[in-house]
A and B are shown apart, each in its own frame.
Chain A
Amino acid sequence: MRVLFFAQLKDVTGCDAIELELSSPLNGEQLWARLAEQFPGLLAHRGNVRLARNWEYADARTQFAHPDEAALIPPVSGG
């Protein structure tokens, strides 16, 4: 599953996307845990970053699985 990073999170991870190998679907909590193994620096942002799945904001029940596109959305500042 592809996971996208935006704005300041790109500076934390050093890339704008990664591929995660998933053996089974993950909930948001598990996805964060997987990402934190690879990029511990992301945890500092967790409080104000929202998860998205297939271009929609995720909620507590959202399951992430291949071939979804997941994204970490830091606070937005458009307009």
Chain B
Amino acid sequence: MEIEIELTHLPVAEKIFPPPTAGAHGAWLEFRGVVRGEEAGQPIAALEYEAYPEMAGREIRRLLETLAIEHPCLAARVIHRIGTIPVGETAIYVGVAGQHRAEALALLTEFMNRLKQDVPVWKRRAVPAAAPRQSAGATSPEALRFLDEAITEIQTRCQPLPPVRVPLEAAPGRVLREAVCAPEDLPAHDRSTRDGYALLADDPAKTFQVVDTLHAADWKPRPLKSGEAMRVATGAALPCDGLRVVMQEDVERNGATIKIIRREAALNLRRRGEDVRAGELLVPAGRRLTAGQLALLATAGCTRPLVNPRLRIGHFTTGDEIIPPDQVPQPGQVRDSNSCLICGLLQPFPCDLVQSHLPENFAAAKQLIATREPQPAAFDLLLVSGGASVGEKDFTRPLLEWLGFETIFAQVAVRPGKPLIFGVNGHRVAFGLPGNPLSHFVCFHFAVATALARLAGESGPQFLRGRLAAPLNEAANPRETLWPAQLTMADGELRLHPLPWASAGSVTCFAEANALLRVPADCPALAAGAGVDFLPAGGMLGA
């Protein structure tokens, strides 16, 4: 039985194809286990799954192979998603191909029963659903949100923008919004992998008549008879089935005849459909397109993929103490670093960014916005740097509300970055980012990047698991901390080196940071070697 197993942090594709069975299956049975909106009688927003991946993969395979003895099937594909899975999304997918439905149904049922006994995967925790908005307390905009709650709210409130078709040149970094399957076998014909001579695979003759020549681009279908050969170039499509290619080094040519002096075992050809069979999945929906995937789409002739539109992003900086970076600060002034920080952080996301500075006076700021193009309504995402606290001049929240945004939350129990504001207005979303650069860095990675991913149709950044390379000794803090760290790979393990960091005003530490460690609230110290959750950051984004 052909078996394919995947444990993934990514959403399971909408459409999945059976592993190849050479057309022998008469039944393709699919089952999806979906996260229900209720756990132990309480409404939930998501379930968190954990796995022992190395063992889970082996157990799934062992189970399928054992069950296939009694219920012989042709192929099976199992995908188990792990990490945080929102309500309504697939946690497990099982596809079984059998000659007939009876054995496929039996195998599937038995597999699901045994999976729940033996495969090391755990429902770790339910993420409680946010209570309805009118109820006081936990979900009023004034209430402090825990990190997970804030991320879940952003994921739920941000809806994917309507997709568009674009030429391949415009598609790098966009999120594919449809599954793309192979329209034909790849390669479409048997192709030579050598410069040489094509002849019948089992032709015992020693000398051959060269009847034609095939260049890489030629297509000349014809049968070959015993004693006939065709000169072929590397990559040329062979004229019929059942051939082999003898390398030119292994023959002596004399005019229009060749004599074989050495016959290798290798056939020296790529079989039709060797890469992909017609109808097989090439790239699932929801993937941010890489160069390799674009090349695959081009090969398959998918020249106008359905992807997310370029995001339109507005960024306002605030604060009278902020001066452009090319000026010399007077006492009390600082150079603006947030504009280029945001610009740099947005690099992996295809977008059009408009940045401008607002005066530190609400009336003047409103007037400037009202008279300037483009209007804020033109942005899918609006970012406001600074003014997020509750000081007299901190007008970010009133400004966003003036622009029609409903404030979803205005404080998150995370350090740094507590006064983070999140608002929505229809499909448009806005963030008020605390002014310190390190807070910007942190809030971008857990909040803004989540919104960018969701708007584009992706699942959003996921915490990964690594190991501390050095101890992290820190007085316990009542808030969770996202601690800047440097991630390296050593001995096949991700190792995290915490970077020295004194306050949210720190500007040196995140220049080297490519990860944010998740330090639990009230955690006194973490020893070297301890397992920690982290969020890839900076250069690691999208890794």
A and B are partners in one complex rather than unrelated chains: yes
Per-position binary interface string of chain B over residues 40-58, scored 1 when its CB falls under 8 Å from any chain A CB and 0 otherwise: 0000000001111011101
* Docked complex: A21-57 residues within 8 A CB-CB of B: 52, 55-57
Determine the distance from Cα of A42 to Cα of B394 in the docked complex, in whole angstroms.
51
A67 CB-CB contact with B under 8 Å: no
> Are B123 and A55 in contact, with the CB atoms below 8 A?
no
With A7-B124, A79-B112 given, is the CB distance from A71 to B55 under 8 Å? yes
Determine the distance from Cα of A74 to Cα of B118 in the docked complex, in whole angstroms.
10
> Are B121 and A77 in contact, with the CB atoms below 8 A?
yes
* Docked complex: B275-328 residues within 8 A CB-CB of A: none
> Are A7 and B50 in contact, with the CB atoms below 8 A?
yes
Determine the distance from Cα of A16 to Cα of B527 in the docked complex, in whole angstroms.
12
With A73-B52, A79-B91, A79-B112 given, is the CB distance from A7 to B531 under 8 Å? no
- Residue of A16, A19, A74, A76 touching B531 (CB-CB under 8 A): A16
**Residue on A nearest B92 in the bound complex, by CB:** A79
Q: Number of contacting residues on A, CB 8 A?
A: 18
Determine the distance from Cα of A76 to Cα of B63 in the docked complex, in whole angstroms.
15
- Residue of A19, A71, A79 touching B116 (CB-CB under 8 A): A79
List the A side residues contacting B499 at CB < 8 Å. none
CB distance from A48 to the nearest CB of B (A): 12
> Are B122 and A74 in contact, with the CB atoms below 8 A?
yes
> Are A76 and B117 in contact, with the CB atoms below 8 A?
yes
List the B side residues contacting A73 at CB < 8 Å. 52, 55, 120
**Residue on A nearest B526 in the bound complex, by CB:** A15
Determine the distance from Cα of A66 to Cα of B54 in the docked complex, in whole angstroms.
18
> Are B58 and A78 in contact, with the CB atoms below 8 A?
no
B102 CB-CB contact with A under 8 Å: no
List the B side residues contacting A20 at CB < 8 Å. none
CB distance from B67 to the nearest CB of A (A): 15
Q: Number of contacting residues on B, CB 8 A?
A: 27
> Are A79 and B122 in contact, with the CB atoms below 8 A?
no
> Are A78 and B54 in contact, with the CB atoms below 8 A?
no
A17 CB-CB contact with B under 8 Å: yes
List the B side residues contacting A76 at CB < 8 Å. 116-122
**Residue on B nearest A71 in the bound complex, by CB:** B52
> Are A79 and B33 in contact, with the CB atoms below 8 A?
yes
> Are A15 and B530 in contact, with the CB atoms below 8 A?
yes
**Residue on B nearest A52 in the bound complex, by CB:** B55
> Are B122 and A55 in contact, with the CB atoms below 8 A?
no
List the A side residues contacting B124 at CB < 8 Å. 7
> Are B120 and A77 in contact, with the CB atoms below 8 A?
no
CB distance from B339 to the nearest CB of A (A): 40
> Are B52 and A78 in contact, with the CB atoms below 8 A?
no
Max chain B C-beta neighbours (<10 A), residue from A15, A71, A77: A77
CB distance from B379 to the nearest CB of A (A): 42
Determine the distance from Cα of A17 to Cα of B123 in the docked complex, in whole angstroms.
19
Per-position binary interface string of chain A over residues 1-14, scored 1 when its CB falls under 8 Å from any chain B CB and 0 otherwise: 00010110000000
CB distance from A44 to the nearest CB of B (A): 18
> Are B50 and A6 in contact, with the CB atoms below 8 A?
yes
> Are A78 and B530 in contact, with the CB atoms below 8 A?
no
**Residue on B nearest A57 in the bound complex, by CB:** B118
**Residue on A nearest B115 in the bound complex, by CB:** A79
CB distance from B499 to the nearest CB of A (A): 23
CB distance from B286 to the nearest CB of A (A): 22
> Are B531 and A78 in contact, with the CB atoms below 8 A?
no
List the A side residues contacting B123 at CB < 8 Å. 77-78
B415 CB-CB contact with A under 8 Å: no
Determine the distance from Cα of A16 to Cα of B53 in the docked complex, in whole angstroms.
14
> Are A55 and B531 in contact, with the CB atoms below 8 A?
no
Chain A residues proximal to chain B, CB less than 8 Å? 4, 6-7, 15-17, 19, 52, 55-57, 71, 73-74, 76-79
Contacts A15-B531, A55-B55 aside, 18 further interface pairs with beta carbons under 8 A come to A6-B50, A7-B122, A7-B124, A16-B531, A55-B58, A56-B55, A71-B52, A71-B55, A73-B55, A76-B121, A77-B121, A77-B123, A78-B49, A78-B92, A78-B115, A78-B122, A79-B115, A79-B116
Q: Could you list some 5 contacts between A and B, CB below 8 A?
A: A15-B530, A16-B531, A55-B54, A78-B49, A79-B112
